[in-house]
Structure 1
């Protein structure tokens, strides 16, 4: 059954790359409207597929950062996909999480030591089961052309902050700058000023999202300062969790009643990451209440539900199907109108 489904997805990839996005443009505009107007959509929780959508039930089922994974995530109904961006030897932006090719392709060596033409000889592989696909390392331009009109894209910049300018330029050239969200960790007035200079260099129309973590920021007034500085539509907030610590029962300093009031006043989404990080405690970014608790311990209410109760309206996860299933069953997903 899975092989049939994957075959259909790959066939759809070819069609989507070859044609402009007509049928699903309406859905993309509806996603954008919900993202830009948080206060009107606090009863709907948006889902972001981490690394383009690569896992299900704790298993890696698609190559990360692949057309196959993103097509599957779109089919599930996610609002946004997260992709990782690096640069080739000849200066083109490519979609790849690691600086080395070894883990996720059938090639070896550093990404930056190969030209795009050479990277196109590398086939994407599924870590874990070793399945090698027919997909090649995608460029950022190819990936954005694929997602255009279908889903929003969250760019995880693996390079320098200045490279965000070039990445947004690719999206702007494709006429889809508003469908891309860029981000940067902020914890001081100096970091805000640095990012404001970068946003000014990028130009108008870009959606910038602050990342704020509770190891450096404990005063919710900083949330207001950072979000106002960029007219942010969302703030990605981190509740750090170390091995041996009990799961959070409050969400920490960034998820207080006052923080929710700040978000409402600024009309922006509270965003939490439930995905796991290798060699770190489960829920490392989410107070211990992450994907492993939701899926492997079969307690989605203690993970996804907990964060919804803290006011979260965007969840970035490695388990988009489990998240959407739980949210739908509990009344936190409002269907999109796909009739037009």
Structure 2
């Protein structure tokens, strides 16, 4: 897959049996002091307390333990409902909504300002999603901060400015994981990771890059060797170039990834819907995923002005909801081993998955 094509697509709940039994009244002063000192003491002290993002990380890192649960990723942080844009993409409001409905991960697109600051913006230019015009790379951070995010196609101007990556990581920290869609070069992942580390968010991000041949594999290896093994990494594999499960296995052995984003191309609307899922969802590829303990990830979102389900063999969000065939989309991919789905319809997808028994609740009041 070429760089041009790549840029297009770019829990443990404490048991109930551990409750403390009180056989005598406790003085109010002592009880108040105890609760003030230990407000988060679990019912089983051997089980560490973790924030909600920590519970999600556990499922991401242990695919084989959680193959009965399909994780949901909100594309562009979750900007659409029922096919309509309802909030600014790549916004804090989108992160808040995704967190509230139980999404595991939001996707954020990363670019760089003229003065070298990492900012969050999908397009190379500003006019579709902000009140400004021109290229992101041509404006300083100060200039970008004067640009307000808009809800595309509605005329609604929000009070959010173009955010830095640091802004968004701080907003997401502890609540939800962040899938970094790097619009720069693979080598820029090092600075993205250092930004996350500086914010105590190293365990809150998932980085990725496309790998389609040996040269690209070597380049990705050099980048990840520089970054270190403490960051969750995901290769992107597309079946226009990767058609052999042996190459998937080699990539998995090189990186021990927590997930692999699989692209199943549908080049035109004239092509029939995929009947088997392509080589990246073949029985051999699924066996590699089980052996490597990593998730298979499919994207069902719509790419503007491209065939429905372009990166999912035609089986995308439009077919699922606009045409009322969710089983033909999500059921199809789950049956072929997908345990992470990135979508423009996270609320509807979570509802459907829940009704089908494909979601395991986190417990402790979390969805």
TM-score clears 0.5: yes
1:65 is aligned, of 66, 69, 90, to 90
1:36 is aligned, of 52, 61, 71, to 61
Matched, 1:310 2:310: no
Separation (CA, whole Å) in 2 of partners of 1:218 and 1:307: 18
Per the alignment, residue 294 of structure 1 pairs with: 320
Separation (CA, whole Å) in 2 of partners of 1:86 and 1:264: 34
1:239 is aligned, of 241, 244, 264, to 264
After superposition, residues 154-173 of structure 1 pair within 5 angstroms as 154-173=179-198
Runs of 4+ in 1 over 3 A off after TM superposition: none
1:119-139, Cα deviation, whole Å (9 max, x unpaired): 111000011112111110000
Separation (CA, whole Å) in 1 of partners of 2:216 and 2:138: 31
Give structure 1 stretches of 5+ with no counterpart.
1-21
Separation (CA, whole Å) in 1 of partners of 2:113 and 2:302: 28
RMSD: 1.3
Per the alignment, residue 356 of structure 2 pairs with: 330
Per the alignment, residue 33 of structure 2 pairs with: none
Separation (CA, whole Å) in 2 of partners of 1:307 and 1:48: 15
Matched, 1:230 2:255: yes
Give structure 2 stretches of 5+ with no counterpart.
1-39, 41-48
Matched, 1:176 2:224: no
1:72-93, Cα deviation, whole Å (9 max, x unpaired): 1111101000000011111110
Bigger Rg, structure 1 or 2: 2
How far residue 189 of structure 1 moved from its aligned partner, in angstroms, is: 1.8
Matched, 1:283 2:341: no
* SS of residue paired to 1:303: helix
Per the alignment, residue 117 of structure 1 pairs with: 142
Separation (CA, whole Å) in 1 of partners of 2:121 and 2:240: 28
Separation (CA, whole Å) in 2 of partners of 1:228 and 1:153: 24
How far residue 180 of structure 1 moved from its aligned partner, in angstroms, is: 0.7
TM-score, structure 1 normalization: 0.91
1:126-161, Cα deviation, whole Å (9 max, x unpaired): 111121111100000010000011111111111111
1:273-309, Cα deviation, whole Å (9 max, x unpaired): 0001111100000010001001110111111111001
Matched, 1:53 2:78: yes
* Matched-pair contact (CA < 8 Å) for 1:214–1:254: yes
Separation (CA, whole Å) in 1 of partners of 2:192 and 2:247: 28
Matched, 1:137 2:162: yes
Separation (CA, whole Å) in 2 of partners of 1:315 and 1:325: 13
Per the alignment, residue 10 of structure 1 pairs with: none
How far residue 26 of structure 1 moved from its aligned partner, in angstroms, is: 2.3
* SS of residue paired to 2:124: coil
* Matched-pair contact (CA < 8 Å) for 1:26–1:338: no
